[in-house]
Amino acid sequence: MSSSSSSSSSSSSSQDGEEVGGGGGSGGGGGDFEGPSSSRRRSGNGVWPEPFVEALAFQVAIDAARSIDRLAAAAALASVFQVCSTWRAVSRSDLLWRNLCRRIWGRSRRLHDTWREEFIHRHGTAMNFRHGRFNYSTLNFNPAYTDADLSCRCLALSDFHLAVGFVDGTVRLFDLATRLHVSTCFPHHHGVLGHFSRAVSGIILSRARLVFATLFGDVHVAALDAGPRLDPVIPTRHVHLGEVVNDGALVDFAGCSRWWVGLYAGVPGQAFRIWNGETEEPVFVGGTLTDPEAVIGWHMFTDLNDFVGRVRVTSQDSAVACTTRRVIVFNLRNGGNVHYDQEFGHGVMVGSLDTNNEAYVIVDGRGVGRVRRADNLEEVRRFTARGRRVLGCMNGGYVLTWTGSVIRAWEVEQAQGGHLYTLEEGIPGDLIAMVADDRHVAACNRDTSVHLWDFGNQ
pLDDT of amino acid 126: 94
- Asked whether residue 16 carries a pLDDT value surpassing 90, the answer given is no
With a pLDDT cut of 70, the percent of the chain lying above it is 85
Confidence of residue 36 (pLDDT cuts 50, 70, 90): very low
Average pLDDT over residues 409-436: 83
pLDDT of amino acid 303: 86
pLDDT of amino acid 195: 82
Instruction: Give the pairing type, strands 281-286 and 272-276.
Output: antiparallel
Confidence of residue 205 (pLDDT cuts 50, 70, 90): very high
Confidence of residue 417 (pLDDT cuts 50, 70, 90): low
Of 211-225, 306-320, 383-397, 424-438, the poorest mean pLDDT is in 424-438
Report the mean per-residue pLDDT for the chain.
85
- Asked whether residue 34 carries a pLDDT value surpassing 70, the answer given is no
Q: Which amino acid does the sequence have at 176? A: L
- Asked whether residue 32 carries a pLDDT value surpassing 60, the answer given is no
Yes or no: say if 58 and 119 are a contact pair by the CB < 8 Å rule: no
pLDDT of amino acid 233: 87
Give the whole-angstrom CA distance, residue 243 versus residue 191. Answer: 9
Confidence of residue 41 (pLDDT cuts 50, 70, 90): very low
Q: What is the dihedral of CA 46, 48, 49, 55, to 10 degrees?
A: 150
Yes or no: say if 129 and 413 are a contact pair by the CB < 8 Å rule: no
pLDDT of amino acid 35: 52
- Asked whether residue 194 carries a pLDDT value surpassing 80, the answer given is no
- Asked whether residue 139 carries a pLDDT value surpassing 80, the answer given is yes
Give the whole-angstrom CA distance, residue 239 versus residue 242. Answer: 10
Confidence of residue 103 (pLDDT cuts 50, 70, 90): very high
Nearest CA to 102 out of 67, 72, 65 is that of 65
Q: Which amino acid does the sequence have at 424? A: E
Handedness of CA 302, 305, 310, 315 (dihedral sign): positive
pLDDT of amino acid 33: 52
Of 32-46, 137-151, 372-386, the poorest mean pLDDT is in 32-46
Q: Detail the DSSP E strand segments found in 171-314.
A: 171-175, 180-185, 200-205, 209-214, 219-223, 233-234, 237-240, 248-255, 259-266, 272-276, 281-286, 310-313
Instruction: Give the pairing type, strands 233-234 and 180-185.
Output: parallel
- Asked whether residue 137 carries a pLDDT value surpassing 90, the answer given is yes
Give the whole-angstrom CA distance, residue 97 versus residue 117. Answer: 9
Confidence of residue 228 (pLDDT cuts 50, 70, 90): low
pLDDT of amino acid 148: 53
- Asked whether residue 164 carries a pLDDT value surpassing 80, the answer given is yes
Q: What global pTM score does this model have?
A: 0.85
Confidence of residue 13 (pLDDT cuts 50, 70, 90): very low
Q: Detail the DSSP E strand segments found in 365-430.
A: 368-373, 379-384, 391-394, 398-402, 407-411, 419-423
Average pLDDT over residues 433-444: 95
pLDDT of amino acid 37: 43
How would you label 19-47 residue by residue, b for 16+ Cβ within 10 Å and e otherwise? bbbbebbbbeeeeebeebeeeeeebeeee
Average pLDDT over residues 46-57: 76
pLDDT of amino acid 434: 95
pLDDT digits (tens, 9 = 90+) for 70-97: 999 999 999 989 888 878 888 889 999 9
pLDDT digits (tens, 9 = 90+) for 328-342: 999 998 878 998 999
pLDDT digits (tens, 9 = 90+) for 209-223: 999 999 999 999 999
Yes or no: say if 324 and 350 are a contact pair by the CB < 8 Å rule: yes
* First-to-final CA distance of the chain: 47
Residues 6+ apart with CB under 8 A from 331: 317, 318, 337, 338, 339
pLDDT of amino acid 355: 96
Give the whole-angstrom CA distance, residue 87 versus residue 303. Answer: 63
pLDDT of amino acid 227: 55
Yes or no: say if 413 and 359 are a contact pair by the CB < 8 Å rule: no
pLDDT of amino acid 48: 58
pLDDT digits (tens, 9 = 90+) for 104-129: 998 989 999 999 999 999 999 999 99
pLDDT digits (tens, 9 = 90+) for 234-290: 899 999 999 999 999 999 999 999 999 999 999 999 999 999 999 999 999 999 999
- Is residue 357 exposed (0-12), middle (13-18) or buried (19+ Cβ within 10 Å)? middle
pLDDT of amino acid 147: 57
Nearest CA to 186 out of 232, 230, 153 is that of 232
Q: What is the dihedral of CA 225, 227, 231, 236, to 10 degrees?
A: -30
